[in-house]
């Protein structure tokens, strides 16, 4: 690879890496969401407090990195989402964007 191409690759890599900001808990949560996973299972697997997981999932929803499900195969549409009242009853799945962000780190 030529020096200029190699330099361009590393500059592009650093720029792309900087655009993704993810906390450790966000990374760990996304790591569990390759398949639809209920809230209780996430709590059990991650050994975090309820409120900490709730805040993380809300942040991931805002970033569009996760989706919510009523059942294992029934997605909650964004305009019908009542996260504050139902977050414990929802199941979660990483979106394509969330998985791409997770795998880039």
Element (H, E) at 69: strand 66-71
Q: What is d(CA 51, CA 55) in angstroms, rounded to the nearest whole number?
A: 6
pLDDT string in tens for the chain (105-residue length) = 455 554 444 444 444 444 578 999 999 999 999 999 999 999 999 989 999 999 999 999 999 999 999 999 999 999 999 999 999 999 999 999 999 999 887
**Can you give the pLDDT at residue 5?**
52
Cβ atoms of residues 94 and 34 within 8 Å: yes
**Can you give the pLDDT at residue 6?**
45
Domain spans in the chain, listed from the N-terminal domain onward: 23-104
pTM for this predicted structure:
0.80
Tell me yes or no: is domain 23-104 CATH 3.20.20.100: no
Q: What is d(CA 63, CA 4) in angstroms, rounded to the nearest whole number?
A: 34
**Can you give the pLDDT at residue 2?**
55
């Amino acid at each position: 690879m030529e020096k200029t191409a190699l330099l361009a690759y590393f500059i592009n890599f650093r720029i792309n890496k900087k655009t993704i900001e993810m906390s450790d808990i966000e990374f760990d949560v996304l790591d569990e969401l390759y398949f639809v996973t209920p809230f209780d299972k996430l709590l059990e697997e991650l050994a975090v407090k309820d409120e900490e997981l709730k805040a993380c999932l809300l942040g991931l929803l805002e970033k569009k990195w996760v989706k919510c499900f009523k059942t294992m195969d029934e997605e909650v549409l964004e305009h019908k989402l009542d996260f504050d009242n139902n977050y414990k009853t929802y199941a979660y799945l990483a979106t394509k964007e969330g998985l791409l962000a997770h795998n880039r780190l």
